[in-house]
Structure 1
């Protein structure tokens, strides 16, 4: 099974700039003027243009898209090396660092929001990475 990640944006060029310059992804294919595929990670990311205030699902749903910061139980984690530089670059491109960078047994995490209100985390693994969690539980 393949997994594709779809991210709604209200400005395609700003989305491309944010994810390519900020995270080092690159444009794979442009399907049309409102849909681009970004590659360079473990799964392709599709940026899809949808205007703010539009209905994502249609009737009878009344919810509307918003590009203000919104919380959802789904977010993206980007595993990077040099987390400080990635965080600085993303903030310069319009991201928000939502809390100070945190240290964990498995590494560092920067909790952020992209310029379109979507949550994302930068992770820099150290030592045994997530396997440190298994060691802690066994102890």
Structure 2
């Protein structure tokens, strides 16, 4: 089975380390020079990659990296306990709350964006979590 790693491009590595460690409680595992930091504490390692704004996002040209709020079909969901406090911590570290806490059958969710324009969600499960949707 392949190993999964999540990579997040950021324009300021130190700011990103501060955000993800203080807002979400992750820990720095290793630093690889000045351009990569490995964060631990989630189910998979998260690598922060320093990539300046305006640089090509893929070989051969456009689009270029832009750290204003953007949309991508892939985002991260962080499961937390104490959702209200987790949202407050994330906002205090620079996250934008895009949709406040919503109650769902499986728990509660808040939609945010990190200081680098990446959307993410904070989830707090109740009962059996997503299994509440199965009805069994």
Give the TM-score category using the shorter length: over 0.9
Match of 1:89 in 2: 89
Q: How does 1:15-54 map onto structure 2 within 5 Å?
A: 15-54=16-55
Task: Give unmatched runs, 5+ long, in structure 2.
Answer: none
Query: How many Å apart are 1:54 and its aligned residue?
Result: 0.6
Q: How does 1:99-114 map onto structure 2 within 5 Å?
A: 99-114=99-114
Match of 1:123 in 2: 123
| 1:72 aligns to 2:72 (yes or no) | yes
Q: Which has the larger share of strand?
A: 2
* Residues 104-133 of structure 1 deviation map (CA, whole Å, 9 limit, x = unaligned): 000000100000000100000001110011
Provide the C-alpha distance between the structure 1 equivalents of 2:62 and 2:46, rounded to a whole number of angstroms: 27
Query: How many Å apart are 1:58 and its aligned residue?
Result: 2.5
Provide the C-alpha distance between the structure 1 equivalents of 2:20 and 2:100, rounded to a whole number of angstroms: 22
TM-score, length of structure 2 as denominator length? 0.97
Match of 2:10 in 1: 9
TM-score, length of structure 1 as denominator length? 0.95
| Moved segments of 4+, more than 6 Å | none
Query: How many Å apart are 1:56 and its aligned residue?
Result: 1.5
* Residues 56-90 of structure 1 deviation map (CA, whole Å, 9 limit, x = unaligned): 2131x321100000011100000000011110010
Indicate the SS of the match to 1:98: strand
